[in-house]
A and B are shown apart, each in its own frame.
Chain A
Amino acid sequence: MERVKVTWFHAVRGCVTVRIAGSGTERLLSDAAGDGIELLALRRTSPGEIECIVTVGDFFRLRQHLRRTGCRLRIVGKRGLPFQLARIGRRKFFAAGLVLFFIGLYLLSSLIWRIEIEGNERLTDEQILAAARAEGLHVFQWSFRLPGAEELSRRLNTALPGTAWVGVEKRGTLVTIRIVETTEPEPRTLLSPRHLIAKEDAVVTRITATRGRPVVKKNQRVKKGDVLISGILGGDGLHVNVPAEGTVRGLVWHEYEITSPLVRKAKTYTGERRTVWHAVLGDRSLKVSGFGEPPFAKYESVLRQENAAWRGIVLPIGRIRETQLEVTFVERRLTEEEAAAEGLLQARADILRKAGADAVIRAEKILHRKTENGKVYMKVLFEVEQSITDEMPLVQPQGE
């Protein structure tokens, strides 16, 4: 039988293919059409018989007209949703399987399959998972048994120490726990018991002990190695050792030998320049422009390589730009005073570098100066106020 297409609308309602035989088929058709019955795919199979498709509803109305016109009706085929449902109704196990499949799909998709943890540094994943499990959040848990995400976040935040914020996000079968940990101050460095002693011979200008017992006073002269702040508190058999802390500043004298030449040589650029290009392939280069001897007596070359690149990949093809800069050397002759001032400047910078950033030069005195062989020789005494502390660990006497 030729399978005639019917619209989905007809298929949902169910269609019956019928054959009608008899002498008054034309009358039947007219009557049926007049009654509003929809006949589809009507064709004549033999002189006394026609075949057509009617919907299930129209089929029962068609039967009323059969008797009047004296035709007989025979059902050839059925199709559509009502008939398929009836067929499923006969296949009980298949239908049950179908239902079970959807139930299984629903149940499996309402399980928590995976938990991801983000943003933890100090807390381990295990700690967080344990806290989550205590709140009922674990793998293979039913989604509908979980409290709301906000409630979970709040509870986890209180359960986990050292978290500033916890976010729980559920996306289908995946739960993401985001953690922001609190920032804690760095722990204080542990110090072992010690004295603070003098680094140099000095006169104390200021002494403040934040821990320990100050031994020296202001304006007191100390020698290198003298105890400034003692780490031993108490005395006479009842004492405790502490790490001494504090600042001690004092005046320190530095004697400095300075040598400063009278003639200075300086390199200067004249401003004349020339550009030479090289082509580069791999690690070989070839000069392509700027042939011939450079027109300068003395010059410096500045090389700059540019390689071709494509999408971040540097290719082994490129060019080198060589800039030749003419230089001249200029000799500068200084007076004795200028040379001495320059030497002092250098000496001061050097002293401050050695004595520490908070050092201050209080006074300076030129003890001796002479000019010989084109150089100025000087001996200078600097009075510098600086930190004079050094550490000396206190060694616990073992046993008695």
Chain B
Amino acid sequence: MRRINHRLRQWTARVLELPQDVVFDLPRLTMIGDRQLYIENHRGVLHFSPDMLRLALPNGKLEVSGKDLVIRGIWTEEVFVEGIITQVSING
């Protein structure tokens, strides 16, 4: 049943050309150079230090490393990170 549901969603997304993050509950990352990172659809903070920010995702983890990281704002679904970002890895 779950499989059919999944395939139906995939087909709908393909036919209607919907963005994948809307259909599959995936995170959307917007990055401006190495200074700002905007993450939508996160599931909480796992670790936060000036060098490293680790976020929980609906299925997986997101690691942001850099220097002088600051969270400009954190809301239920979104996180806005500022600082010098050197690396972003997902589900690593």
Contact code string A356-387 (vs B, CB < 8 Å = 1, else 0): 00000000000000000000000000000000
Docked pose: A187 CA to B69 CA in angstroms:
99
| A282 at the B interface (CB under 8 A) | no
| A47 at the B interface (CB under 8 A) | yes
Say what secondary structure dominates the interface of chain B.
Answer: strand
Which B-chain residue is minimally distant from A40 (CB atoms)?
A: B73
15 contacts between A and B (CB under 8 A): A26-B46, A26-B48, A29-B45, A29-B74, A30-B45, A33-B79, A34-B44, A34-B76, A38-B73, A38-B74, A38-B75, A41-B73, A42-B70, A43-B50, A44-B49
Taking residues whose C-beta sits less than 8 angstroms from the other chain, chain A's interface range is: 20 to 34
Distance between B46 CB and nearest chain A CB, rounded to angstroms:
6
Which chain B residues lie closer than 8 Å to A41 at the CB level? 70-73
| B56 at the A interface (CB under 8 A) | yes
Docked pose: A38 CA to B76 CA in angstroms:
8
Distance between B86 CB and nearest chain A CB, rounded to angstroms:
17
Distance between B2 CB and nearest chain A CB, rounded to angstroms:
26
Docked pose: A44 CA to B83 CA in angstroms:
12
| B3 at the A interface (CB under 8 A) | no
Docked pose: A29 CA to B72 CA in angstroms:
13
| B7 at the A interface (CB under 8 A) | no
Closest 4 CB pairs of A and B: A30-B44, A42-B71, A43-B70, A29-B45
Contact code string A37-58 (vs B, CB < 8 Å = 1, else 0): 0111111100100101000000
Say what secondary structure dominates the interface of chain A.
Answer: mixed
Docked pose: A331 CA to B74 CA in angstroms:
118
| A36 at the B interface (CB under 8 A) | yes
Q: What residues of chain B have their CB less than 8 Å away from a CB belonging to chain A? A: 43-50, 56, 69-76, 79
Docked pose: A34 CA to B48 CA in angstroms:
16
Contact between A42 and B75 (Cβ–Cβ < 8 Å)? no
Contact between B76 and A40 (Cβ–Cβ < 8 Å)? no
Contact between B56 and A30 (Cβ–Cβ < 8 Å)? yes
Docked pose: A25 CA to B46 CA in angstroms:
9
Most buried by A among B43, B56, B73: B73
Given the interface pairs A30-B44, A30-B45, A33-B44, the reply to whether A42 lies near B50 with Cβ below 8 Å is: no
Which chain A residues lie closer than 8 Å to B46 at the CB level? 26, 30
Contact between A26 and B76 (Cβ–Cβ < 8 Å)? no
Distance between B42 CB and nearest chain A CB, rounded to angstroms:
8
Docked pose: A42 CA to B56 CA in angstroms:
18
Contact between B48 and A39 (Cβ–Cβ < 8 Å)? no
Distance between A349 CB and nearest chain B CB, rounded to angstroms:
105
Most buried by B among A25, A33, A36, A38: A33
CB contact between A42 and one of B43, B44, B48, B76 (< 8 Å): that residue: B48
Contact between A33 and B75 (Cβ–Cβ < 8 Å)? yes
